[in-house]
């Protein structure tokens, strides 16, 4: 089957920007980022800024995503914001980001419930998977990816998996400046797609988008985006700099144009 997957560039702002700062930043970003219909650009600001940004946002250029969402739609869960509350605001939600797993001790069971809650509420989940340095050095990368994928996707149908996004984010590459080598990314994204095929069939494997995340910037983005099995980037630090983020979107557009001319 032909690869028609749309390249996604997603900016995870993490715990940065107040509402006022986010508004100013978005204004600059909208000037810097070209309108490229063939690239899907997603912004993932903190939950407090989602509402004001949704009003300000140029919907021809950007889509919104949440960094997290709770799996119970409503109830006595102090401090939580549910997928049901996010559904009218966002297209996407991150699930199982390594910072949720490692700083907040969220396990695969929680990720599975959040995946299910996201699709139940019509939000497309971006499931984050990836090994720690210790796990890589111990030769456990594939085992970790297998465990996180099979648990995270457990409650979804093949159709729901097809519409989902998986982000390969090796923990050792996040926020360290030490990005994975393209061949490491290629091996991991190929393995992930094979796992999806094994669990959900060829159609789901052909449609699911697999991103790379971990110290992506405007200089290295091209080396990941030009890999056949890599459908985009999940960008942390560099998404807080509008020059760099706009540069990554332009790189994605160039890669897309090259793919079209090769067909």
Which residues are known to be catalytic? 97, 169
Three-state DSSP at 173 gives helix
**Angstrom distance (rounded) from CA 241 to CA 263:** 34
**Angstrom distance (rounded) from CA 250 to CA 42:** 14
Is the CB of 12 or the CB of 164 nearer to ligand 13P? 12
Provide, rounded to whole angstroms, the least separation between the CB of residue 218 and ligand 13P: 12
**Angstrom distance (rounded) from CA 22 to CA 70:** 23
Is the CB of 12 or the CB of 251 nearer to ligand 13P? 12
For the chain, the first-to-last Cα distance in angstroms comes to: 13
Is the CB of 229 or the CB of 232 nearer to ligand 13P? 232
Give the CA diameter of the chain. Answer: 54
Give the HSE-up count for residue 151: Cα atoms under 13 Å, Cβ half-sphere: 18
Provide, rounded to whole angstroms, the least separation between the CB of residue 206 and ligand 13P: 25
Which residues in this chain contact ligand 13P in the complex, by CB under 6 A? Answer: 12, 97, 169, 174-175, 213-216, 234-238
The dihedral of CA 151, 152, 153, 156: what is its sign? positive
Q: Which residues contact residue 1 at a Cβ distance below 8 angstroms, ignoring those fewer than 6 apart?
A: 202, 203, 206
Is the CB of 200 or the CB of 223 nearer to ligand 13P? 223
Provide, rounded to whole angstroms, the least separation between the CB of residue 112 and ligand 13P: 20
Residue in 66, 62, 84, 67 with CA at minimum distance from that of residue 75: 84
Q: Are 49 and 22 in contact (CB under 8 A)?
A: yes
Three-state DSSP at 59 gives coil
> Beta strand pairing status for 7-12 and 124-129?
unpaired
Is the CB of 195 or the CB of 241 nearer to ligand 13P? 241
């Amino acid at each position: 089957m032909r690869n028609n997957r749309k390249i996604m560039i997603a900016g995870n702002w993490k715990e940065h920007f107040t509402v006022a700062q986010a508004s100013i930043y978005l204004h600059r970003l909208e000037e810097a980022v070209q309108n490229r219909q063939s690239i899907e650009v997603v912004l993932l600001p903190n939950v407090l800024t989602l509402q004001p940004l949704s009003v300000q946002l140029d919907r021809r250029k950007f889509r919104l995503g949440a960094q997290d969402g709770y799996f119970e739609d409503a109830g006595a869960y102090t401090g939580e914001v549910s997928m049901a509350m996010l559904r009218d605001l966002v297209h996407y939600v991150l699930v199982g980001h390594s910072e949720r797993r490692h700083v907040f001790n969220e396990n695969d069971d929680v990720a599975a419930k959040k995946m299910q809650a996201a699709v139940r509420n019509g939000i497309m989940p971006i499931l984050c998977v990836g090994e720690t340095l210790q796990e890589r050095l111990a030769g456990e990368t594939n085992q970790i990816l297998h465990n996180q994928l099979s648990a995270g996707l457990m409650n979804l149908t093949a159709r729901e998996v097809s519409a989902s996004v998986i982000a390969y984010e090796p923990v050792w590459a996040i926020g360290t400046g030490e990005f994975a080598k393209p061949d490491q990314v290629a091996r991991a994204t190929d393995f992930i797609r094979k796992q999806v095929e094994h669990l959900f069939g060829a159609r789901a494997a052909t449609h699911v988008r697999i991103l790379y995340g971990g110290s992506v910037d405007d200089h290295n983005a091209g080396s990941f985006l030009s890999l056949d099995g890599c459908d985009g980037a999940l960008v942390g630090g560099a998404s807080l700099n509008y020059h760099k983020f706009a540069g990554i979107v332009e790189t994605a557009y160039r890669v897309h144009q090259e793919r079209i001319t090769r067909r």
